[in-house]
A and B are shown apart, each in its own frame.
Chain A
Amino acid sequence: MAGMIKIVKDDFKRLKTALLSDSSVEQGAVLFASHCLVNGCNIFLVKEIQPIPDQDMVFKHAVARKLKASGLMKLTQKALEEGLSLIIAHSHPGSLSTFSGTDDQNEKEMMPRLLMITDNNVPHGTLVMNSNGRVDARFWGPYSKSPQPIDWINIVGRPMINLPTLSNESYPERINIDLFDRQVKMFGSEGQKLLSETKVTIIGAGGTGSVVGIQLAYLGVEKLFLIDHDIVDYSNLNRLLGATKKDIGRNKIDVLSDAILNINPQAKIEKSLEKISEKNDPPVHLIDSCIIFLCTDNMSSRVIVNDLSLRFLIPVIDVGVGIQADKGRVSAAGGSIYLSVPGELCLQCLNRINPDMLYQEIMAAENHIGYVLGEKVESPAVISLNSTVASQAVNIFIDLVTGCLGSKTDQIKCFDMIQGNIYTPSLPEDFDCRYCKKLKGIGHGYYSLSNIGQK
């Protein structure tokens, strides 16, 4: 894959409105995007959409439009100042679905110039949308002198939509659906295809992470990235799916990876033993993921992953379980799943990040004494609870990717093990969130939110 545009649902709606609101003339808009190159794929994270005002146009007709050099330079100035890529979009209200000869000729002359003016630091692109909303897109530079195709538009929302561009030759390729016949009856062959192509990162390959990983393997998810620095010990064997006594001392991600490959030998699994920390760059394999399962159940990882989710426009499904028990008497047991979608509500908006607990974790980590209230505590854990909560999380994932449940999944779901209830708490009312609203904190890419805050 040469390129992908990631854009949140509301921005894509704005783009469609800007381009298709009047079918009698060609219309235009500009996307400002952060750029990252990951595993050979150029990812454009859309930060902002701007319609092109009429006063910046020389003319706009049914089959052509001309943007004044001064209008173009205004846009270029913004891109230059913020280190962003410009993606200049226009509509083709007539029959032509893709770029025209006029577009080719114009870009051949203009794109090298635009790259030169912006110091060749980031690539710039163009996008064309036909009257049915189908899109073609491409980018120029900084490392190539000819246009490269953008194969996918990833619309981040509920459901997540992976829209192949018109120049994406691999679409619609077919997959062998016989193996998944029974589930294809539920979400269709297109849904199955989406599942197989969706890259999922699982952070934490323990009690809940292993259940999630194995269920994804059965579902036919083929691209996985597993992160966990921990090794299997004797006390994990009661709940770590796929692990046996022989695995004691092995890395949890290796054990999970083997279990997944036993179920689905087609799976392409990437692994990392590194801790995700705000001090290090995020692992590259995470950045091109479409969804993150966060199965670590501690506050500091939630803060970091929430930040990455917003920067790289990746939805997060946060899975947590907990049991309070004393000498065989359980006073509380249950779990919760939080779905955070960039452009909608982040983990901070959902009140998932508790500052007091975060402080305690940080203090405990500095004193090297574990993370639960400053005391090294081995929490109770049981596979039935982990599996119930992990299964709910995977249901949310299925809906997010295929939309087969109507994409009406609640963003918070809780399970009370004592009552046997799954319930939906009401969403917090105060969405004036520091991370994703006040700082307009989405799509910054490699620029961290803390840097943006200091500006």
Chain B
Amino acid sequence: MGKNTVPVFLNREKFNVLKEVSYLEFRNILKMPEGRALYLRDRGKLLEVTEDNFSLRPGQHYFDVPDWIEGEALSLPPLLAEDLSSLKKDFSEERIKIRELSGNEWEILVYDFPTTPELQKIYGKGVLKFKVSKTYPQTPIKGLYFDSPKKMNFKKSCFSCKQWDPQRNGLFMYLCGVQKWMEAK
């Protein structure tokens, strides 16, 4: 550190910067990506720093702040969205949950499964989980797992029901197929 430099902090990291640098040089030295706002925290106040009010002093605390992006951008494939929407109508909203595993894969959770009293006597009311991918319905449903309160759990890495055509029958029919298979089991 020389006489001509001042210590400042960016995102709590210390930098020694030449006293005379301009705003743009300062941004370059700190390798601040374009489009980010620069903020100075001074006595509890957050001040946006621009070319007009830039003034370097020792010990200043700066932060670079990008815009805040949020949203459903990675939305479900249309057919899957349609299937889930009708499944929610058939089963009630509370009993169906969707969890995004990645941009390409979702886990569907069906609560209070199975639905018939006879099967509930055997299995109890559990949670059925399975995974669907972005290419649904071309690719098969994977990772079928049933979590039973009566310890009658089962797991199948890939499960396709007889007479279930993913191109024509929706997820509701798939769940009916799973129940039929549970009956026969």
With a 10 A CB-CB cut-off, give which of B71, B98, B111 has the most chain A CB atoms. B71
B69 to A66, Cβ gap below 8 A?
yes
B111 to A106, Cβ gap below 8 A?
no
**Distance A73 CA – B49 CA, assembled complex (angstroms):** 12
- Say whether A67 faces chain B, with CB atoms less than 8 Å apart: yes
- Say whether A76 faces chain B, with CB atoms less than 8 Å apart: yes
Interface flags for A190-230 (1: CB within 8 Å of B; 0: not) read: 00000000000000000000000000000000000000000
Specify the chain A residue showing the minimal Cβ separation from B106. Answer: A96
Interface flags for B97-132 (1: CB within 8 Å of A; 0: not) read: 111101100000001100000000000110000000
Instruction: Looking at the assembled complex, report how far the CB atom of A90 sits from the nearest CB atom of chain B, in whole angstroms.
Output: 5
B70 to A166, Cβ gap below 8 A?
no
**Distance A150 CA – B85 CA, assembled complex (angstroms):** 25
A116 to B12, Cβ gap below 8 A?
yes
Specify the chain A residue showing the minimal Cβ separation from B38. Answer: A69
B70 to A95, Cβ gap below 8 A?
no
Instruction: Looking at the assembled complex, report how far the CB atom of A241 sits from the nearest CB atom of chain B, in whole angstroms.
Output: 36
- Say whether A77 faces chain B, with CB atoms less than 8 Å apart: yes
**Distance A73 CA – B93 CA, assembled complex (angstroms):** 36
A95 to B44, Cβ gap below 8 A?
no
Interface of A is mostly: mixed
A69-112 with Cβ < 8 A to chain B: 69-73, 76-77, 80-81, 88, 90, 92-103, 106, 109-110
Given A26-B70, A66-B68, A96-B75, A172–B94 Cβ distance below 8 Å?
yes
**Distance A97 CA – B149 CA, assembled complex (angstroms):** 25
- Say whether B36 faces chain A, with CB atoms less than 8 Å apart: yes
With a 10 A CB-CB cut-off, give which of B12, B73, B74, B125 has the most chain A CB atoms. B73
Specify the chain B residue showing the minimal Cβ separation from A99. Answer: B100
B59-98 with Cβ < 8 A to chain A: 63, 65-76, 80-81, 84-85, 93-95, 97-98
* CB < 8 Å neighbour of A94 from B39, B76, B95, B111: B76
With a 10 A CB-CB cut-off, give which of A77, A88, A102 has the most chain B CB atoms. A102
Specify the chain A residue showing the minimal Cβ separation from B81. Answer: A95
B37 to A63, Cβ gap below 8 A?
no
A76 to B81, Cβ gap below 8 A?
no
- Say whether B167 faces chain A, with CB atoms less than 8 Å apart: no
A64 to B98, Cβ gap below 8 A?
no
The interface on chain A, measured as residues whose beta carbon lies within 8 A of the other chain's beta carbons, has a size of 46
With a cutoff of 8 Å between Cβ atoms, the chain B residues found around residue A102 in the complex are 69-74
Given A96-B98, A96-B100, A97-B97, A70–B71 Cβ distance below 8 Å?
no
Instruction: Looking at the assembled complex, report how far the CB atom of B134 sits from the nearest CB atom of chain A, in whole angstroms.
Output: 12
**Distance A103 CA – B146 CA, assembled complex (angstroms):** 29
- Say whether A68 faces chain B, with CB atoms less than 8 Å apart: yes
- Say whether B11 faces chain A, with CB atoms less than 8 Å apart: yes
**Distance A110 CA – B84 CA, assembled complex (angstroms):** 32
Instruction: Looking at the assembled complex, report how far the CB atom of B55 sits from the nearest CB atom of chain A, in whole angstroms.
Output: 19
**Distance A64 CA – B67 CA, assembled complex (angstroms):** 13
**Distance A103 CA – B70 CA, assembled complex (angstroms):** 5
**Sample of 25 A–B contacts (CB below 8 Å):** A26-B70, A26-B71, A63-B71, A64-B71, A66-B69, A67-B70, A69-B36, A69-B65, A69-B68, A72-B67, A77-B45, A90-B70, A94-B72, A94-B75, A94-B76, A95-B80, A95-B81, A98-B100, A100-B71, A101-B102, A109-B66, A116-B63, A117-B63, A167-B99, A172-B95
Which A residues are closer than 8 A to B by beta carbons?
A: 26, 28, 58, 61, 63-73, 76-77, 80-81, 88, 90, 92-103, 106, 109-110, 113, 116-117, 126, 132, 134, 166-167, 172, 174
10 tightest A-B contacts by CB? A64-B71, A69-B37, A95-B81, A67-B68, A69-B65, A102-B73, A101-B74, A92-B72, A64-B73, A63-B72
Which B residues are closer than 8 A to A by beta carbons?
A: 11-12, 36-37, 39, 41, 44-46, 48, 63, 65-76, 80-81, 84-85, 93-95, 97-100, 102-103, 111-112, 124-125, 149
Sample of 17 more A-B contacts, CB < 8 Å, known A96-B72, A102-B71, A106-B68: A26-B71, A63-B73, A67-B68, A68-B67, A69-B66, A69-B67, A73-B46, A77-B45, A80-B46, A94-B72, A95-B81, A96-B100, A97-B97, A102-B74, A110-B68, A116-B12, A172-B94
